[in-house]
Amino acid sequence: MNNLEPRRARWIKLRLGILVTGMTVGFVTLAARAHELQVRQGSHLRDLAEQQYEREVRQRPRRGNIFDRNHTALASTVDGYSVTANPRSLRRRGVDVVALGTRIATVLGLPADRVVEDLRRDAGFRWIKRHLLPDEVSQVRAALRDYPTAIEGLQVIVEPHRYYPNRELAAHIIGAVDIDGQGIEGIERQFDTQLRGNDQRLRGVRDAMGRLVFAEGLTPSDGSAGADVTLTIDKTIQFIAERELGAMVRSSEAVGGSVIVTSPATGEILAMASYPTFDPNDIAHSSAEGRRNRAVTDRFEPGSTMKIFTVAGALDANTIQAGQLINCYGGTFTIGDRTIHDTHVDQWLTPMQVLARSSNIGSAQIGLALGADGLERVFRRFGFGERTGLPVPGEARARFGERRWYDVEVATVAFGQGIGVTSVQLAQGLGAIANGGRLVRPLLVTRVHDAGGALIEEHVPDAGRAAIDPRTARLIGEMLTAVTEEGGTGTAAAIPGIRVAGKTGTAQKARIHGRGYDENRWVGSFIGFAPAERPEIVVTVIIDEPAGDDHQGNAVAAPVFRRVTEETLRYLGRLRRTGGPTQIGAATVRPGATTSASLTLPVNTPSITLSSGDGGAGPSVPSLVGMSARRAIATLAAQGLEAELSGAGTVVRQAPLAGESAGPDRRVQVVLEPGGGAPRPTPIDADAGVSESP
């Protein structure tokens, strides 16, 4: 540079200085930026990069199963198939989305314009159709073979699908899930958290096309899978109940109905049917009316079935006696501005006859003798006025007692008018009568197990509480058998070969608009249990708004009760098929016989033991109080027992007591008195409580 002209040398030095300075500034800036990116923002940028190439894969676990009491699957999860699309991938690959969309729409039965519109969207994911049928899957795959470039943009994927193998069976209990597998009805909704399990979140690597290249742990762990729920329902009994209920609702052109079958000793619900119904496999095409579980959601006036509890409460409180005569005023009785009528014209009836002939006036007199507070206490002891606590959505509460009842209301409420109940409350209340006076809450879910089989929850039968004295319960049970025998209002519920205890009910429904009752809208019902001596099942039948003039409980509900009870007892091994005469122990029952008095005993029969199904060595003595002499003799003869009578009239005392075993001589001392122990007829007067007749 010394050989250069000074002016030129200075210019070169200046240029070198500028260059070095620029390079230095550049390196410093680059170093600062590198420090900024790698040190100060390194973790943030690393997260951004991972978000571009790594994906958090949310894997939904397999939903748990729902089983009946015999471990038969009522709801399960199977692998289903769905069609998804990546419209951006189709565009990049130049796929003719109009032709492809039209072809796929034809195969899947979808509108072509909607499918084409979905394939044209600027999106990386679209559902085309979920839960495909098997032949739809094969047709879609065949169509994709004609469009090889669309393989990455239109795919058939495996997706868990909720499946109900028995279709409508127990649909109102099981419920259903929505298209995303969330419980929306019944047990599916109530136990959704347990059934759904815990979602797994897995880290996977996706390429620029969004395809999953690698992921670990794709198999759900036992801890994430949904739990299994076991119900008290018996699939076979449920089928019987649904079949008979549906047949009656259709034939009577009713709006709907419900049937409940329970075990009185444990409160277990063996069947709970409602009609109309729905198929949970196709929940999208069901109606709100079809999905309603009428057994728990519908509140109605029960009518004469409430007479059971009125009479039971009065007997238990010693307000009336079993043999007492009650004035029924010849079928017409006026209290306040209300006139009460009976369908049968009677002057004097015993409590058993009040039930057998379903006397509104007799029940009103008994209710008035109890009084407003006493009647409310009775109903509450039987569980009315509060929810049963069943784990199903929408259970109604039958409210009453917010204000004190006037005499007119006491009279009408006593025979089931002016009070609202639900089917499941009736089943619970009658279960207390069948269970020796002990009220047990209904039980629907017994166990919840995790995917590994470990017990998570267990629900055992409720210990219950005393509703009435056991002796009163046995007496009421015996009285209720008169309802299904000749002269009673529920003869259509009688079953050949066994004694049935029950009660009919026919109640008008309130007007939709305005006050009073609609003469064209009725609820027919029958509630009962069998066998009367050792109740195995309680059956509650409600038929809502049957069409035509024959809307009585004996016409529309009692036949359903008979068929459901008979088939259920036969299924449980408690009843043999009848064709010719049926041998029960040593007694021959004629086909069509409906009462214990129809038993024909062979000559020189030393002992007769009715089959009880529990292996008992001998018969227990039935309750005879309130019976006539003739009926008491027939009842004892049916058990292979001999009656030793004293007095005349109706039975007031017996030895041994009801429920106790007969002695080796098989004799029962029976004391009868005129009027059941009342030397003079003792009416219950609406104005003066209990008073003597003039």
Burial of 621 (0-12, 13-18, 19+ CB in 10 A): buried
Residue 693: pLDDT band (50, 70, 90) is very low
401-424 pLDDT per residue, tens: 667 888 899 999 999 998 999 999
Query: Which has more confidence, 361 or 84?
Result: 361
Would you state the pLDDT for residue 67?
96
At 263, the amino acid letter reads S
Angle between the N-to-C axes of helices 307-316 and 423-434, in degrees from 0 to 180, rounded to the nearest 10: 40
Whether pLDDT at 221 is above 80: no
How would residue 597 be classed by pLDDT, with cut points 50, 70 and 90? very low
Q: What percent of the chain has pLDDT over 90?
A: 45
Identify whether the C-beta of residue 368 lies closer than 8 Å to the C-beta of residue 407: yes
pLDDT at residue 371, rounded to an integer: 93
pLDDT recorded at residue 53: 54
Is the pLDDT assigned to residue 148 strictly greater than 80? no
Higher-scoring residue by pLDDT: 555, 120: 555
In this structure, of 52-61, 241-250, 383-392, 444-453, the range with the lowest mean pLDDT score is: 52-61
Is it the case that residue 615 has pLDDT exceeding 70?
A: no
Lowest-pLDDT range of 98-112, 143-157, 525-539, 547-561: 143-157
- Rg of the chain over CA atoms, in angstroms? 38
pLDDT at residue 535, rounded to an integer:
95
Is it the case that residue 582 has pLDDT exceeding 90?
no
Active site residues: 304
25-46 burial, b at 16+ Cβ within 10 Å, e below that, comes to eeeeeeeeeeeeeeeeeeeeee
pLDDT confidence bin for 206, thresholds 50/70/90: low
Core vs surface per residue 94-113: b (16+ CB within 10 A) or e: ebebeebbebbbebbebeee
pLDDT of res. 670 = 85
3-state secondary structure at position 349: strand
The two tokens of residue 273 are: 């049917």
Report how far apart, in Å, the C-alpha atoms of 542 and of each of 52, 232, 427, 502, 525 are.
62, 21, 11, 13, 5
Question: Rounded distance, CA 117 to CA 279, Å?
Answer: 32
Q: Is the pLDDT of residue 137 over 90?
A: no
pTM: 0.73
Architecture of domain 245-575+587-677: 3-Layer(aba) Sandwich (3.40)
Tokens encoding 485: 């025998």
pLDDT of residue 690: 32
Residue 215 has pLDDT above 80, yes or no: no
- With a cut of 70, say whether residue 55 has pLDDT above it: no
Q: Is the pLDDT of residue 614 over 50?
A: no
Whether the per-residue pLDDT at 38 is higher than 50: the answer is: yes
Which of the listed ranges 101-115, 218-232, 397-411 does the model predict with the highest average pLDDT? 101-115
Count of C-beta atoms within a 10 Å radius of residue 203: 13
Mean pLDDT, the chain, whole residue set:
81
**Under 8 Å between Cβ of 203 and 56:** yes
Whole-number pLDDT of residue 585: 31
| Residue 601 predicted with pLDDT over 60 | no
pLDDT score for 200: 61
Q: What is the pLDDT of residues 619-666, one digit of tens each?
A: 778 888 777 777 787 778 767 777 887 776 778 788 888 778 877 777
CA-CA-CA-CA dihedral for 215, 221, 226, 230, to nearest 10: 150
Question: What's the order of all strands across the beta sheet hosting 599-600?
Answer: 582-584, 587-589, 599-600
